[in-house]
Amino acid sequence: MRPVNACMRRRRQTILWVVATMKHAVSRTPGTLRLFGTILLVAVAVSGPLSACSVPVFRYALQRWQPNSHLAVIFHRGKLSAKQAAVCKGLSVNAQNANLTVQTVDLNEDLSPWAPEFYTSGDLPRMVLLKPPRGNGSSSPKSWGAGHMVWSAPVNKASAAMVTDSPKRREIARLIRSGQSVVWVLLDSGDAKKDAAAATLTKRVLTKLAGKLKIVRPLLTDAKRAKSKLAKLRLAFSTIIVSRADRSERVLVELLLSSDKGLRDAKGPVLFPVIGRGRVMGSLVDKGITEENIAQFAAALTGPCSCALKARSVSALDLLISTDWTTAAKAKPTTRPAATTRPSPKSARGSVRRRGGGDDVVE
C-alpha cells in the first residue's frame, strides 16, 4: 500500500506545475506553444489519487498505452490488376506489425459514405492514409472525415512501403526501445539559421535537464525495490532532426503536421516530444521553442503518470510505426548511447547520414 503522504505530495507538485504551465501558456502568442491538454491535466491532478503515481509518464506509456490505429483505404473502380492486388496484400501483411488497418473500397459498388476528397484527388486506384479519429473511432466511414486525411498516393510498391516504414521512424522506435525517456523530433523549416538555432538550443536544454530532473520512483520496500525493473530506470533524452525535403520521410512529415491544428500553416521549425509506443504529446513551434517550454514538457513527461492522461491529452497523435512494442515494454528499462540521425545535404533525395556515439543522447 502506498504511503498517503508521498502520493499527496506528488499530487501537490503536479497541480503546482499545471497551474504554472497554464499561466505561461496564456501569456504566449497563439500558435507558438501547443501543450498537450494542459487544462484537462488539472482535472486529472485534482480528481482523486494518481493511480499510477509511482510510474513516470514515459514508462507507463510504453507499458500500457496501446497506439491508436490509422486507416489505409484503397479506392478503386472494378477489379484490381494482379500487381495492384499484390500491393494491397503486401500492405496488409506489413500492417500486422504496425498500428494500421487496411481496407479496399470499390467505388462502383459503394460511393456515398466516403468523403469525395479521398478519391477525387488523383487517378484510381489510390491509397489514402487517414489518422485515427478521437477515441480511435471505428471502421465506419462516418468516423473518418476529410479532416483525417494525412497523405495519399497511387497504389504501387513504393507508396505501400512508405506507409508503415521509413528510416526516421525506425530510429524513433530504436531509441525508445533502447530506453530513451523522450525522443525529441525536430521538424526543420528550410531556414538553415532558424533550424540550427532550434537544434542547438534543444540539445543544450536537454543536457541541462538530464542532470536536474528527478524520475519518480516506485514506493516499495527495500526488498521489492531491488527486484523492480523501475528501480533501475534512468533518465535519457535524444533528438532526431527530420527534413521536410526528405522524400523517404514524406509520410512521417505529414503525420507530424497533422498532430495538431494550425501546424501546416506554422512558420519555422517545430519540436515534438515522442514517448511510449510512438505517441506525439504536443509541439513547440518556432519562437515557442524555448528553454522554459522544453523544461515544462520534460518535467511533465518524466513526472508521475495518471491512467486518464492518455485519453485526456487532446493535442496528441500516435505515429504509424512498425515495431514490436510488447517486447520493448517487457525489457529492462536501462539506457545506453545510441546513434542519432541527422539530415544531410542529400536529404532531398532520400539519403540519410548517420552519426554514431552518444553526443546527442543525454543521460
Q: Is the same domain home to 240 and 306?
A: yes
Confidence of residue 123 (pLDDT cuts 50, 70, 90): confident
Q: Is the same domain home to 160 and 234?
A: no
**In the prediction, which pLDDT does 310 show?**
63
**Grid cell locating 54:** 509511482
Of 115, 149, 164, the residue that ends a domain is 164
Q: Is the same domain home to 325 and 336?
A: yes
Q: Is the same domain home to 221 and 339?
A: yes
CB contact at 8 A, 170 and 176: no
The CATH number of residue 115's host domain is: 3.40.30.10
Model pLDDT for residues 260-276, shown as the tens digit of each residue: 989 999 889 999 999 99
Instruction: For residue 363, give the nearest of 223, 258, 211 by alpha carbon.
Output: 211
Of 132, 149, 164, the residue that ends a domain is 164
CB contact at 8 A, 100 and 164: yes
Domains in the chain: how many in total? Answer: 2
Of 129, 164, 199, the residue that ends a domain is 164
Sign of CA dihedral 320, 323, 325, 326: positive
Please check the confidence at residue 309 and state whether its pLDDT lies above 60.
yes
Q: Which of 9-13, 20-24, 80-84, 126-130 has the lowest mean pLDDT?
A: 20-24
Model pLDDT for residues 168-223, shown as the tens digit of each residue: 999 999 999 998 999 999 999 999 999 999 999 999 999 999 888 987 665 555 55
Instruction: For residue 160, give the nearest of 105, 247, 84, 99 by alpha carbon.
Output: 84
Q: Is the same domain home to 41 and 96?
A: no
**In the prediction, which pLDDT does 346 show?**
41
Considering the chain, what percentage of its residues have pLDDT values greater than 70? 67
**In the prediction, which pLDDT does 146 show?**
81
CA 80 to chain centre: 34
Q: Is the same domain home to 80 and 61?
A: no
Q: Is the same domain home to 179 and 290?
A: yes
**In the prediction, which pLDDT does 30 show?**
38
Model pLDDT for residues 229-242, shown as the tens digit of each residue: 555 677 899 999 99
pTM of the model: 0.78
Q: Is the same domain home to 138 and 283?
A: no
Element (H, E) at 263: none
Q: Is the same domain home to 261 and 351?
A: yes
**114 or 127, greater pLDDT:** 127
Q: Is the same domain home to 346 and 219?
A: yes
**Grid cell locating 36:** 498537450
Q: Is the same domain home to 221 and 76?
A: no
Q: Range of 50's domain?
A: 4-65+167-362
Q: Is the same domain home to 184 and 159?
A: no
